[in-house]
Amino acid sequence: MTTKDSGEWRIIVEHDVPMRTRDGVTLYSDVYRPDAEGTFPVMIIRTPYDKGMQVYADGKTMSRHLIHSRYFPKHGYVVVVQDTRGRWQSGGDFYPYVWDAEDGFDTVEWAASQSWSNGKVAIVGKSYMGLVQYLAAIEKPPHLVAGAPMSAPISYFENCVYRRGVFELGWQLSYIIGLARDIAIRMGGAEGERRLHYLNQFLENPAIRFGKLKMPEFLHLPLRDWIDRLAEDAPYVRDLIDNWKDGAYWHGMDARPRARDVTIPMLHVGSWFDPFLVDTTEMFNRIRAEAPEEVARNQKMLIGPWTHIFGSRIAGQVDFGPEAELDIDELELRWYDHWMKGIDTGLMDEAPVKIFVMGANRWRHEQEWPIARTRYTPLYLGSGGRANSRDGDGRLSFDRPGVQPPDSYIYDPADPVPTCGGTTLLSFGGDAGSCDQAIVEVRQDVLVYTSDTLEKPIEVVGPILMRLFAATSAPDTDFMVKLVDVRPDGSAFNVADGVIRARFREALDQPTMVEPGAIVEYEIDMWSTAHLFQAGHRIRVDVTSSDFPRYDRNPNTGHDFGTDAAEDLARARQTIFHDARFASHIVLPVISD
């Protein structure tokens, strides 16, 4: 036990405090508590990222759980930072998410029984630390009082490892290798050094904890080779790749069907360019619809203009202004002071939904999500048959099209469209957010449809859907769509995006091949946004078939996922229809106050 002085306040720190789970595994925590008499409410941070980590590998950024451990004790909280099962000091075998519901329950009840606890407990944190909040909450630990899950991936198959059947190649491989490197470091000695050296060979910069892979590694085929490549260091990769369809394997790690079991108030926090955005909105809505009324009315949601990194005014290449800056610690303190200390912080007097409108760069307060007065407005694709690239003749119109020829392009998986912004964790923010699409929109395999210059601003707030009528020469392929804001100077910044793998157009658990040449309607969920297209700007929609290395490349063969080698890759002719019968269009959620 040590006592530390942080200027204005002193805290007592106990390292490696053990706790036994119901199945006999010992988990270890560092406990930070005020150096004062009495008992206190407890905040638990359950992390796979090393409870004792002082800084990230760049030597600059203090980890979020260490910031919590210094911030909240001075406000009268005990902070328990625990290594999750199989990670760092804790015992057991690591397998992402599998143990976190029961282990979370056990940790809450253990913390409530300690001499420094007043019996009121919360689990806090974002990303993995947000996920464990949902998983513990649905188990209903009696002493869990409140939660504030931030950017939490709770639909493990549909919006985490895969998105509409498309493998999240870029961040999944980087993340898995980063987790495996942690285990090698923990192991130490000659064996740890051997395994660390082996894993480092895949990375551009091993000094970055969850850095990108080298491009030849992203390009490596067959994808199933990663099962053997990581068999020693991350054996669960086999399960992730073998289970490329939805099914029972994924269901136990999906909190959505049990939203009705949540019994605590929750502040759901997300961001427009975060890969777990849809989980934030869906859990907020499901709990409000399915949980008891006294629980439902105490749910709040806040979504900002950020990537997976919260609170900054910059996301990608766009500065959203000073209003975008948010003190996450202060927000959490207001939330927990209300529910764990009974302090009137004013937060519960605010509207249940607070969202940042990009373009206007201001916050909007609403009573529900989506906003009830939304006008879902179709914006139709059109062209003279040459919409290829931003130099083509693609156009958008609010008028339904008449007779006009389709557009086509060749999708070659050997030459994919490069990732340029979006709701991705690739390099943990380096390629995420809103970015100028110039490097993408000059390509002939990107169809670009642009509206006339707007005479009046259009505010788009809510879920976005693309109805795309398309034919392909392949038995299976992908379609990617982006909503883009074109500024008066011609620069074009992505606002929202969506993707679909053709074989999963009807169901994620029952893939169905397409008939080559047949016209198929694809409903592409582009998730949600809040964006003001200013007068003088133009609205744009880009359509293509790859976004690499964010997503794996569809080889256009129809073979089982991950089995194709480089020599199996096939080109596909994609044809997009936008006439009176097959009127491809994007549905925009337009708000008029």
Say which residue the tokens 């601003």 belong to.
457
For β-strands 117-123 and 40-47, DSSP reports them as parallel
CA–CA distance, 15 with 131 (Å, rounded to integer): 24
Euclidean distance between the first and final Cα of the chain, in Å? 58
CA–CA distance, 218 with 419 (Å, rounded to integer): 12
What is 321-338 written as a DSSP string? Answer: -GGG---HHHHHHHHHHH
Say which residue the tokens 């007043």 belong to.
118
The answer to whether the CB of 316 falls within 8 A of the CB of 432 is yes
Q: Is 127 a residue of the active site?
A: yes
Tell me: cis bond preceding 222? Omega within 30 of 0 counts.
yes
Enumerate residues 6+ apart whose C-beta is below 8 A from 422: 273, 431, 432, 433, 482, 494, 497, 547, 550
Among residues 29, 63, 69, 127, which one is catalytic? 127
Taking phi first (over 0 means left), then psi (-120 to 50 degrees means alpha), and beta for anything else, what does residue 346 get? Answer: left
Neighbours of 259 (CB within 10 A): 21
Using alpha carbons only, what angle is made at residue 96 by residues 46 and 209, rounded to the nearest 5 degrees?
75
C-alpha dist (Å) from residue 227 to 216, 231, 232, 238, 316? 17, 6, 9, 5, 32
CA–CA distance, 27 with 92 (Å, rounded to integer): 8
CA–CA distance, 344 with 323 (Å, rounded to integer): 24
Which residues on neighbouring strands pair with residue 3, listed in sequence order? 12
Tell me: cis bond preceding 549? Omega within 30 of 0 counts.
yes
Enumerate residues 6+ apart whose C-beta is below 8 A from 321: 313, 361
CA–CA distance, 19 with 25 (Å, rounded to integer): 8
Structure tokens that stand for 381 in this block: 């694709």
Q: Is 308 a residue of the active site?
A: yes
Using alpha carbons only, what angle is made at residue 501 by residues 464 and 406, rounded to the nearest 5 degrees?
75
C-alpha dist (Å) from residue 489 to 264, 271, 458? 49, 27, 19
Of 353, 263, 350, 344, the closest CA to residue 302 belongs to 353
Among residues 65, 308, 531, 537, which one is catalytic? 308
Q: Is 100 helix (H, G, I), strand (E, B) or coil?
A: helix
Tell me: cis bond preceding 413? Omega within 30 of 0 counts.
no
CA–CA distance, 308 with 7 (Å, rounded to integer): 31
Of 542, 369, 584, 563, the closest CA to residue 450 belongs to 542
Among residues 103, 274, 478, 564, which one is catalytic? 274
Q: Which residues does the annotation mark as catalytic?
A: 127, 274, 308
